[in-house]
Chain A
């Protein structure tokens, strides 16, 4: 079964500082990986995704993430955080191939980002 761990429940950074949100996954093969952002009371917005190919993926709003197979990680980064980035961030893994898990996403616990002015 696939699983996702986001070790940091809450992260606080100053505006303009760099950001890295950690995500570790467990999956038997190469997974599909996603990062989503959720503002309070809202649905999820896709920031970026990894399916295959270049392990460094660029997303919207200046975010990027790097897939590291050896570390089973897909950490999200942003060089300079803006106050509007304050939200909750979810990493998710999806199953490739067939079977009953195909198409399903498993989410991490989420990381709440607070941005100080």
Chain B
């Protein structure tokens, strides 16, 4: 149980375009979802936390107008990278938790490459 999927697994786009990444909890209702980014050979850095039906809470230094997060249902959250640039190329990982618990269940990640 507690499976989280992400789509797409990898995406390549041109600079200036927008990219949407989906995160789904397949067998549970995710009251909270988290978005992380991971640069090569680095750790995971939390970008934002979203609760279903509420606005996302962004970590310091993360541009909320550039990284749009929507958590419209208890099983789906989306991250849209707007006007992507090469420096946005990274591995984006989502996770989900339920019932107000601390344990997070991680998706497989999405590799974004911006040309």
Contact = CB atoms under 8 A, between A and B. Distances in A.
B46 A105 contact: yes
Interface in A86-117: 90, 94-96, 100, 102-110
Interface residues of B, number: 25
Interface of A: 32, 34, 36, 41-46, 49, 51, 90, 94-96, 100, 102-110
Interface of B: 4, 6, 32, 34, 42-44, 46, 49, 57, 91, 93, 95, 97, 100-109, 111
A43 B109 contact: yes
B73 to A, nearest CB: 19
Name B's interface SS.
strand
Contacts of A90: 43-44
A108 B45 CA distance: 10
A96 B102 contact: yes
Contacts of A49: 103
A51 B49 CA distance: 22
Contacts of A43: 4, 6, 93, 106-109
Contacts of B57: 100
A110 B101 CA distance: 24
B103 A42 contact: no
Contact of B109 (A42, A46, A100, A108): A42
